[in-house]
């Protein structure tokens, strides 16, 4: 009986992965050229940056190459690459957001430290949505959020500055962050959402 197209593809992939596990560069090249466009498109859909999507695609396949013996355990390469790409893309977004958050807290201009135009555009879009949400906060919550998250003051410092208790500051922050997270989750895509959720963490 002639194997189906699906079975043939599966057997071909298993053979290629087995060869890659043994260090065969030619088999790796076949897998790379077969799947890298799909990996790139999937990363691009999340991160909205061509240059970053290209970097992610390259890094995903570097990781595939380094898996060595673990490659033969992969049952569905297409699904495996999708999960690997998603996880790595979200990791990149979280790293970018933390860098941006640290830069703002230190009073540095993120644009001056990064030349990736697309990356900066992502942050400008993120800031636009976040600023829209901040403007909708009640006055006291907005003030507390601004002092804590945008000026980098600790709860104790805000409490002293506003002549209110630390617990009141914390309560205002919790309400503000809850509203902001709900707002951004319904007004943006997954890439910017990851950045905003990182920026809206409570670690001060």
Model pLDDT for residues 58-89, shown as the tens digit of each residue: 999 999 998 877 888 888 899 999 999 988 98
Which CATH number describes the domain made up of 120-199? 1.10.10.10
How is domain 5-95 classified at the architecture level of CATH? Orthogonal Bundle (1.10)
What pLDDT does residue 101 have? 66
Q: Write out the DSSP string of 68-84.
A: GGGGGG-S-HHHHHHHH
Mean pLDDT of the chain: 81
Q: Which tokens hold the place of 42?
A: 């999937």
Under the banding of pLDDT at 50, 70 and 90, the label for residue 44 is: confident
Q: Tell me if residue 25 falls in helix, strand or coil.
A: helix
pLDDT tens digits, residue range 94-138?
887 777 666 655 555 555 555 556 666 777 777 788 889 899 999
Domain boundaries, the chain: 5-95, 120-199
Q: How far apart are CA 105 and CA 152, in angstroms?
A: 6
Examine the pLDDT at 204 and tell me if it is beyond 70: no
Helices marked H in 49-189 — which ranges?
A: 50-67, 77-105, 110-113, 117-134, 139-145, 155-162, 166-185
pLDDT tens-digit readout, 169-194: 999 999 999 998 888 888 777 777 77
pLDDT for res 41: 93
């Amino acid at each position: 009986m002639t194997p189906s197209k699906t079975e043939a593809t599966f057997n071909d992939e298993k053979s290629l992965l087995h060869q890659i596990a043994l260090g065969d560069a030619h088999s790796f090249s076949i897998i790379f050229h077969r799947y890298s466009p799909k990996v790139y498109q999937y990363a691009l859909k999340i991160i909205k940056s061509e240059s970053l999507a290209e970097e992610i695609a390259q890094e995903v396949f570097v990781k595939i190459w380094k898996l060595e013996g673990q490659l033969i355990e992969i049952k569905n390469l297409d699904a495996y690459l999708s999960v690997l790409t998603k996880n790595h893309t979200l990791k990149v977004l979280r790293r970018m957001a933390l860098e941006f958050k640290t830069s703002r807290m230190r009073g540095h201009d993120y644009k001056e430290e990064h030349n990736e135009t697309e990356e900066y555009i992502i942050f400008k879009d993120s800031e636009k949505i976040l600023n829209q949400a901040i403007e909708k906060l009640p006055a006291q919550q907005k003030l507390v959020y601004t002092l804590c998250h945008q000026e980098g003051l600790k709860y104790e410092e805000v409490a002293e500055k506003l002549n209110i208790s630390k617990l009141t500051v914390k309560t205002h922050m919790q309400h503000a962050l809850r509203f902001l997270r709900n707002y951004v989750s319904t007004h943006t895509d997954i890439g910017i959402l990851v950045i905003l959720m990182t920026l809206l963490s409570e670690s001060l």
